[in-house]
């Protein structure tokens, strides 16, 4: 648009207003395609404006995860958890004695569902920060764990000749020390999380199989 032609400022202002009105009319009359930004003005002109494609239930999603937050409405109390003595529909995990854990074997179901790549993911997400990608206790946070034992070497340490049931118990109760304390009915302050509260029984067995595969057993 060549504004120099319009020496009179009022004329230029009028023209700007006209353009804004046309754009507004085009948007209001529904000739604007929000997926492509193409806008047809009464068959006279075809323009291209910024596109705002729909990405969810709203045209522009700002915090997408907030759509799925467990919101509750007015007059509605917070969700009530299950009673403390209720049993999950999947059944409660059996608590064995220390000797029984030593003899415990992986179930056929867990053996059949084992996939090395999935187990590697579970390990990477839950264990590698401490035990390292190499499983040798050299994870990125290991040097900051200055109180208590350092993350164990899962290739060459006690795990190397432990039974599969023992490794399962150590993972479940947050290390060998944690397992011994829990079996003795004492509080368990180990830095390694108690994974029987965080991972399913099957996921913990898959980790046992993964660790043993890395030990070439």
By CB under 6 A, name the binding residues for ligand HEC. Answer: 126-127, 129-131, 149-152, 154, 157-159, 167, 170-171, 175-177, 190-193, 195, 207
For residue 129, the minimal CB distance to ligand HEC (Å) is: 6
For residue 185, the minimal CB distance to ligand HEC (Å) is: 18
Q: Report the sign of the C-alpha dihedral through residues 84, 88, 91, 93, in that order.
A: negative
User: Could you tell me the CA-to-CA distances from 175 to 98, 149, 194, 195, 215 in Å, in that order?
Assistant: 14, 10, 8, 10, 18
Compare residues 54 and 121 and give the one whose CB is closer to ligand HEC: 121
Compare residues 26 and 152 and give the one whose CB is closer to ligand HEC: 152
For residue 113, the minimal CB distance to ligand HEC (Å) is: 17
For residue 178, the minimal CB distance to ligand HEC (Å) is: 7
Distance between CA atoms of residues 121 and 105, nearest Å: 23
Compare residues 110 and 175 and give the one whose CB is closer to ligand HEC: 175
Compare residues 49 and 214 and give the one whose CB is closer to ligand HEC: 214
Distance between CA atoms of residues 163 and 160, nearest Å: 9
Reference 101, options 192, 198, 171; nearest CA is 171
Q: What is the dihedral of CA 128, 132, 137, 141, to 10 degrees?
A: -70
């Amino acid at each position: 648009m060549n504004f120099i032609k319009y020496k009179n400022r009022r004329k230029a202002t009028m023209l700007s207003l006209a353009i804004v009105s046309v754009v507004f009319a085009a948007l209001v009359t529904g000739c604007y395609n929000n997926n492509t930004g193409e806008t047809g003005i009464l068959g006279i002109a075809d323009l291209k404006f910024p596109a705002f494609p729909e990405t969810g239930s709203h045209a522009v999603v700002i915090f997408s995860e907030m759509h799925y937050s467990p919101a509750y409405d007015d007059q509605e109390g917070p969700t009530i958890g299950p009673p403390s003595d209720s049993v999950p529909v999947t059944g409660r995990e059996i608590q064995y004695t220390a000797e029984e854990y030593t003899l415990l074997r992986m179930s056929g179901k867990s053996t059949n569902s084992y996939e090395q790549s999935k187990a590697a993911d579970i390990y990477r997400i839950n264990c590698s920060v401490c035990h390292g990608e190499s499983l040798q206790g050299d994870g990125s946070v290991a040097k900051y764990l200055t109180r208590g034992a350092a993350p164990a070497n899962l290739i060459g340490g006690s795990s190397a000749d432990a039974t599969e049931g023992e490794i399962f118990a150590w993972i479940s109760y947050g290390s060998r020390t944690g397992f011994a304390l829990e079996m003795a009915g004492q509080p368990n302050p180990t830095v390694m999380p108690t994974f029987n509260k965080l991972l399913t029984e099957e996921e913990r067995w898959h980790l046992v199989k993964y660790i043993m595969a890395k030990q070439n057993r």
